Structure 1
Amino acid sequence: MAPAQQGADRATDRAIDRALGALMGGALGDALGMPTQTLSPREIKETFGRVTDFVAPRDDHPVSRGLPAGTVTDDTEQTLLLAKTLLASEGAFDDRRWVEVLVDWEADVKARGSYDLLGPSTKRAIDAIRSGVPPAEAGRYGDTNGAAMRAAPVGIIMPPEPLDGLIAKVAETCRATHNTSIAIASASAVAAAVSAGIGGTGWRGASALAVKAARHAGQHGHWAAGADIATRIAWALKLVDGRDRDDALEQVIALVGTSVAAQESVPAAFAVLSLAEGDAWQAAVLGANLGGDTDTIGAIAAGMAGACGGFSTLPADKVSRLRGIDLGEVETLVSALIDRRLGDQRQRMTAAS
């Protein structure tokens, strides 16, 4: 095999490892935060002490009761559904296909006996589309974190440069459910961090690109009142920099916030990524103990960390205990996403030469 081909193969293998790290890291954060989501930090401490491994939720948990320890939730399931929809969409993202996928998923979740896991923005948009509202208008009020929580596949399929191309693809995937400046900026930040990680950038560089992406993406979608996402992410990173970890986590809870609001949970996830120093499992642990939207914060933070470190850095014993996710299926999705990413890059290089 020619040296150039060997180098290309190694680059592809590294990209696949990091893309798999993004999706499986996200699953770890999701599953670890599953039993603590919606609980306050005090309730988490009283019930579990400190969550450092997969645990089952309380019998009276409003959302997760009955789920076995280590089970993934809507964060992971919708992320994988978005990956499949991206691969099935030729050219522009297929809004109607995506809405149909979400509707079918909601029906399947209820058939399995689970609780309604659609986020407020997604549910409102689907109800609007069912009432005849065009998909491009249905998401005009979606400003929560649903788009950001499932944005990793966009970061896998799209390279970080040109950044405007990545942001445009994020905006397409947000259009039907989260077509607001806040949601698009949040999802663009996460996708940019994942994309940078897959390209070989460490978590610090990925965070810097995320801030840049959020700043540019804020011009997309319908304007929504709320704090600027790029500014909030940069502020959250500065807030925890150099602080004792316990003190920093208290600052995240008290000042950044951990609700489903995108301008709280997404900056909180970047703060967690920093405090974990890019370690996916530590990001999952920190996210699980924050209170509030723990599974989403953990999934975003650990997913970005996994993209920057790779699947090979994830704890194999924890990955093997995940429930509700098929590693083989994820590997197949990742290979297809990376094939699309590298194929598009080759086409751009050929066109430019």
Structure 2
Amino acid sequence: MIKYKVVLNADEQSELEQITSQGKHSARKIKRAQILLMSHAQIYTDDAIAELLLISQSTIHRTRRYFVEYGLSDAIHDDPRSGQPRKLDANQEALLIAITCSEPPKGRCRWTLSMLGDQLISLTELETISPETIRQRLKDNDLKPWQKKMWCIGKLDAAYIARMEHVLDLYAEPADPQRPVINFDEAGKQLVDHVNEPIPMKPGKVAKDDYEYQRAGMANIFMFFDRHRGWRKAKVTDRKTAVDFAECMRELVDHDYPEAEVVRVVLDNLCTHHEASLYKAFPPAEARRILRRLEFHYTPKHASWLNMAEIEIGNMNQQCLDRRIANKALLIDELAHWEKKRN
């Protein structure tokens, strides 16, 4: 004889049917709703319910009892669970945070979970503490001692603000084919060759590259980006000397923008990015001829974010160069295809 009989009214039956049909609830809640619906008016036996829902008869009995004694809501919802008590009290957790934010011991570049646990034990009355507890507390406080970010902080003095506003005003000007605005920068690329042939991707298996590789030298990439046209050019060279910079500027005015009156170049403060580089590379008359058609506009120090060529270099690295490239000829060919698609 069933001790707790389930008899549902129309509203309760409708609510339970909605829970089981929508699939927007937890598996536990749906299972309890199914138990109550199948127990309604003794449609199914306990054995049949247990077999169909793959549950124990104690679960069926408990769900029915909660329904009869406390009602539908208590039968299908869980009570709040206290969970396992915290291993660290507030003071111990505050001490852990302070240790994590301090300098690591001499001979170590960063704190590890085990080192943090050992240090915490030595400073408190704790006898043991697991790395998992340390990890959870660090996670709760958004602390990641294994991560470090590098950045340059610009000094917001009058010179910084003056150059920043000058460059922003330049960007805000309408497009003028006779006075184009070109962003210019450079980036290095390590040439790397495979020692063992990579294994291509197959269904169910990712592509594999051997950890071992062979260095094949360095290459430099000069990036040109037209502020208004969205045109870009990646020029590969062996180095980034004053002569290489001067050749880029001559190519810019003679080949890329031969009809322009003046090409306005936005660039950073690298030591080669100056008029003197052209005099090092060319006779004075030739250097003067090129410079008459150039205007240099410098970003503030530590403000590379103002140079749109930096963004394009990031796109280039992500879309084209995020792989091993063995030689300069292959690099030039790959960049040519990328450049054509981008333009």
Same fold (TM over 0.5): no
Q: Normalized against structure 2, the TM-score is what?
A: 0.22
Q: Which has the larger radius of gyration?
A: 2
Q: Which of the pair is proportionally richer in helix?
A: 1
Q: RCO higher in 1 or 2 (8 Å CA, sep ≥ 6)?
A: 1
